[in-house]
Structure 1
Amino acid sequence: MATRIERIIKYMNDAFKRDAGLWSHSVMDVLENIHSIWEIVNHLIFGKEYLINILEGKEIPSEDDFKTPDDTSEEAWKNTVKKLEEVHNKLIEILKGKTDEDLDKSLGEYGTLEDNLYGIISHDCYHAGQIVLILQLMGLNL
């Protein structure tokens, strides 16, 4: 039987990784060849980095998390998507070192680690759905 932390990691990856959508399309599924949702991607990066900073005891960034890119080249887009994958993978690696007991630890005003991880899962699913809606409104299908 999987531990609680292993189940959470599975759900996080299901909501995020290509071809593994938790309910429908994953975050990475909806990002392939899409550029109009760049600000949402920056927001997803910010959310994961925010939790990583809490877990690592680092200062919490206060910048605008829905950043509009200055460089809108294909290479810059690919780098942004790559950064999102890297941040996700970093969070997963941190979690692999945690136990079920760690899930109950308070992160202060942010709730428990478990609360925050389910928040990240929901956040990824919500924004994946948002991106799908934007694509549909643009007449694009996945």
Structure 2
Amino acid sequence: MLASMKDVLLDQLAACHNDESWFKPSITILNDVSVNDAIWKAEDDPHSIWEIANHLIFWNEMWINRFINDDSFEKSTTTNDETFELDHLKQDEASWNETMQRLSNGFAHWREVITNCDDSKLEKIIPSYFNAQWWGVISNLCIHNAYHIGQMMLLKKQVQKYRS
């Protein structure tokens, strides 16, 4: 039996969120990351784990809002570089926990929305985005998430090595 588009997208989102399959999911990677680990930057890397988490939150929330609102929403004026920004006044345990929860909630929300949508929604074309179909955009969003989750894993390994 062939998997449906929904099944594939749900599998991709689970892999990024909490299903240990081919790579460590975000929930596993971030589970024991402290605030100091989350803000640490390698000399040759422009972003910290926390900044990457902020970037993923921005894009996941932006695209789910577009999906839910049928692509009729106010366009963001935020630049890609700004999506990584970290509030230097809120670098505490509570803020870090909120960031991790927001990232996790975003993946869970995507899975809920996809589970409950009609297949026709996934096949719908997005005229304002290269006439791409929703299933393709969501699949590419998952690839984007996986890429940055890999970066977070490498940064976590680097910070552990640096601190030991």
Q: Is structure 2 residue 42 aligned with structure 1 residue 21?
A: no
Instruction: Supply the AA of the counterpart residue of 1:51.
Output: W
Report the more deviating stretch, 98-107 or 123-132: 98-107
Q: Is structure 2 residue 62 aligned with structure 1 residue 50?
A: yes
Indicate if the aligned counterparts of 1:3 and 1:100 stay in contact, CA closer than 8 A.
no
Unpaired runs of at least 5, structure 2? 40-48
Q: Is structure 2 residue 61 aligned with structure 1 residue 62?
A: no
Instruction: Supply the AA of the counterpart residue of 1:72.
Output: Q
CA distance in 2, matches of 1:62, 1:48: 16
How much identity, in percent, do the aligned residues show? 24
Two-structure CA RMSD over aligned residues (Å): 1.8
**Which stretches of structure 1, 4 residues or more, deviate above 6 A after TM superposition?**
none
CA distance in 2, matches of 1:83, 1:68: 14
Unpaired runs of at least 5, structure 1? none
Please show how residues 1-142 of structure 1 align to structure 2 within 5 Å.
1=1, 2-17=3-18, 20-34=19-33, 35-36=38-39, 37-55=49-67, 56=69, 57-63=72-78, 64-69=82-87, 70-110=89-129, 111-138=132-159, 139=161
How many residues are treated as equivalent by the alignment?
Answer: 138
| SS of aligned partner of 2:125 | coil
| SS of aligned partner of 1:23 | coil
| SS of aligned partner of 1:24 | coil
| SS of aligned partner of 1:130 | helix
CA distance in 2, matches of 1:65, 1:108: 24
The Cα of 1:102 is off from its aligned counterpart by 2.3
The Cα of 1:22 is off from its aligned counterpart by 4.1
The Cα of 1:58 is off from its aligned counterpart by 2.4
